[in-house]
Structure 1
Amino acid sequence: MNTLISHIINPADVKAYALAGVLIALVVCLLALVIARILRNPFRYPYFELDFDVSGKRNVHIDNLVDEWLCTPGTWNQALDHHRQVEAWKKSSAAKAEGSLGPLAKRRRRQLAETIDDEREFCFITVRDQTRYHQRNYQRTPYKVSVPDRKLDVDLAWLQERRDALSAIGFETTLRKYYAKNQRRLMTPALRQQIAERDNYTCQICGKYMPDGVGLHIDHIVPVSKGGKTVPSNLQVLCSKCNGSKSNR
C-alpha cells in the first residue's frame, strides 16, 4: 500500500509544488507592493515650520511670539519666499499629475487636491525642554528632549493682516502688548536700558548727563493716563527734576 502511495505522490513533486507555491506568494507580494507604491499619494505639502523655545516660561501666548518674529527684519521675506516655493511646488505637482498614464491621472489630481493645505501653510510651534533619564547599571543619567507644547497653523493672508497691524504701530511691539491695559507692567529692565543707551543717559529737557544712572527716569512722553504706550517712540530719558515738573502733562 505504501509503495502504491509513493508512486502516486512523488516526494520530489511535493517539494516542487511547495517551491512553486512560495515563488507564487513572493510574486504576489511583490506585485502588491508595486501596486501599493503606484497608488499611494506621492505628494507632500511643503509646510513652513518654526519652533519657539519657551522652556521655563509661563503664560506664553504663541500669537505674541509670532508678532515678535514678524517684527524682526528679514522674516517677512522668508515668509514670501516660502509662499513662492509653495506655488512653484503646486505648479510642478499639477504637471506631474496630468502627466500620469490613463486613469492614474485622475487619481493623482484627487490626491494633489487632498494634499494642498494652504490654510495651514505656516506652522508655529512652541517647544519645551523636558528632562528624561537613561537607566543603566542602576544609574540614571539625565538628558533633555524638546517636546511640542502648542501649535498655531495659519495662512499667508493671516500673516499679512497681522503684519499690516504691526506696521501701523511701527513694529515697535506686539499687538497683545500694544493693546494691554496695564502699560506700566511692560516697562522691563531691558527696555529701560535700551532707552537710556539710545538717549545717551541724557535728560531730553534740560540736557543733564547721568552716566551712573542716578536720578535717571524713563518717562512716557504721552502719559499712560492719556493713552500713551510703552514703546520706544513714546519713551524718553528725563532727570528726576524735569520728570517731576512734567507730571502727567
Structure 2
Amino acid sequence: MTQLYEIDGYHYIVDLTPYFVLGVLVIALVCAIAVLVRRILASPFRYPYYVARFNVSGRRNVRIEDYIDRHLMDPASWDAIVAHRAYIQNWKHEQEEYLKTCRLRSRRERQYAEAVDDDRAFRFITCRDQTRYKQANYVKTSYKVSMDDSELDVNWEWIVERRSRLAAINDEATLRDYHAKNQRRLMTKQLREQIARRDNYTCQICGKYMPDGVGLHVDHIVPVAKGGKTVPSNLQVLCSKCNGRKGAR
C-alpha cells in the first residue's frame, strides 16, 4: 500500500503498509484488552437451578401444579430434588469460601448476592411439541421443536410443604383431585381397571370371581355423599348384588 506525494516539485512515494499494519494491531490489542477486562469483571457465579420439564402436548386445561404433585410423589424424582437441594447448599458454601480470598472482593460479593436465587431455586416448566417444516432441494420435511408453555418457580420451603400435604394423603392423588368437589368424575377407566386388577376381579364382600368384568363394580368404601374420596384406598371391587345391598352406606 503506497501513497504518492508532491512537495516543492518533488514526488515522493510513501509506503503506508507498516502504518496500516500497526493500526490494525493497535485496534486488535484494544479489543483484546476490552474482552479481557470484561471477562475479569463479569460475574463468575451461576446459580444451579433445579429444572423439571413436563410435556403436555395435546392436552387442554393443563394445571402445572398437578404435574408437580405427580413429580413429587415419584420416589426417584423426590430423591433427585433432595440431592439437588444438597448440591445447592454445597455450591453456596464453596462460593462463600471463594469470596474470602478472591480479588475484587466487594464486587464479587455483590455479584454473588445477585446470583443467589433461593426463592426460585426449583423451576417447573410445561412444554408442547410443535411441528415445523424445512425445505431443501425441493423436498419438504417436518421436524419437532419443544416450546415452553408455562413455568412455576418455587423455593425449597414450598416444595417441603407441598410434599408434606401429599404424604398426608398417602400420595394417592394430586392435591387438586383430592379436594375436588366432584369426586365421581375422577373415576376414570384406567382407575377402574387398576382397582379391578388389584382386587383380582373378586368381590370384596362375597368373594365372587368376575374375570370377564361382567357385573363388576368399583365401589367407594366411604360413599362420596359422606365425604369419601376417589382414591385407591377408598375403592373396592363389588359384584352387582353386593353393591346394590351396600348402597350409600
Of residues 38, 41, 48, the one that matches 1:39 is 41
**Partner residue, 1:75:** 77
Higher helix fraction: Structure 1 or Structure 2?
A: 1
Distance, in Å, in 1 between the alignment partners of 2:113 and 2:193 is 52
Equivalent AA in structure 1 for residue 14 of structure 2: P
**Partner residue, 1:119:** 119
Distance, in Å, in 2 between the alignment partners of 1:148 and 1:173 is 26
Distance, in Å, in 1 between the alignment partners of 2:10 and 2:118 is 70
CA contact (8 A) 1:208 1:239 kept: yes
Alignment of 1:59-70 (within 5 A): 59-70=61-72
| Secondary structure in 2 matching 1:74 | helix
Distance, in Å, in 2 between the alignment partners of 1:4 and 1:93 is 71
Distance, in Å, in 2 between the alignment partners of 1:71 and 1:15 is 72
Can you give the 5+ residue segments of structure 2 that lack an aligned partner in the other structure? none
**Partner residue, 2:59:** 57
User: 1:20 deviation in Å?
Assistant: 2.5
User: 1:22 deviation in Å?
Assistant: 2.2
Distance, in Å, in 1 between the alignment partners of 2:58 and 2:9 is 80
Deviations 1:95-137 (A, max 9, x none): 2233222xx1111111011001111111111111101001234
Distance, in Å, in 1 between the alignment partners of 2:116 and 2:133 is 40
| Secondary structure in 2 matching 1:141 | strand
Equivalent AA in structure 2 for residue 195 of structure 1: I
User: 1:42 deviation in Å?
Assistant: 1.1
Deviations 1:182-216 (A, max 9, x none): 10110111111111111111111111111111100
User: 1:28 deviation in Å?
Assistant: 1.2
**Partner residue, 1:20:** 22
Equivalent AA in structure 2 for residue 2 of structure 1: E
**Partner residue, 1:218:** 218
**Partner residue, 1:149:** 149
Distance, in Å, in 2 between the alignment partners of 1:156 and 1:6 is 83
Distance, in Å, in 1 between the alignment partners of 2:130 and 2:18 is 59
Of residues 11, 14, 26, the one that matches 2:14 is 11
Structure 1 residues 18 and 205, CA gap change in structure 2 (3 angstroms): same
Query: Structure 1 residues 227-236 or 137-146, which shifts more?
Result: 137-146
Residue 190 (str. 1) matches residue 190 (str. 2): yes
Distance, in Å, in 2 between the alignment partners of 1:5 and 1:27 is 40
Distance, in Å, in 1 between the alignment partners of 2:38 and 2:102 is 16
Total equivalences in the alignment: 245
User: 1:15 deviation in Å?
Assistant: 3.6
Deviations 1:8-45 (A, max 9, x none): x8714x44333332222221111111100100111111
**Partner residue, 1:231:** 231
Distance, in Å, in 2 between the alignment partners of 1:146 and 1:134 is 16
Can you give the 5+ residue segments of structure 1 that lack an aligned partner in the other structure? none
Residue 95 (str. 1) matches residue 112 (str. 2): no
CA contact (8 A) 1:166 1:175 kept: yes
Distance, in Å, in 2 between the alignment partners of 1:150 and 1:122 is 14
Percent of residue pairs bearing the same amino acid type = 56
Deviations 1:78-101 (A, max 9, x none): 111101101111111222233222
Distance, in Å, in 1 between the alignment partners of 2:184 and 2:31 is 70
Distance, in Å, in 2 between the alignment partners of 1:31 and 1:136 is 43
Query: Structure 1 residues 137-146 or 191-200, which shifts more?
Result: 137-146
Provide the aligned C-alpha RMSD in A.
1.7
**Partner residue, 2:107:** 107
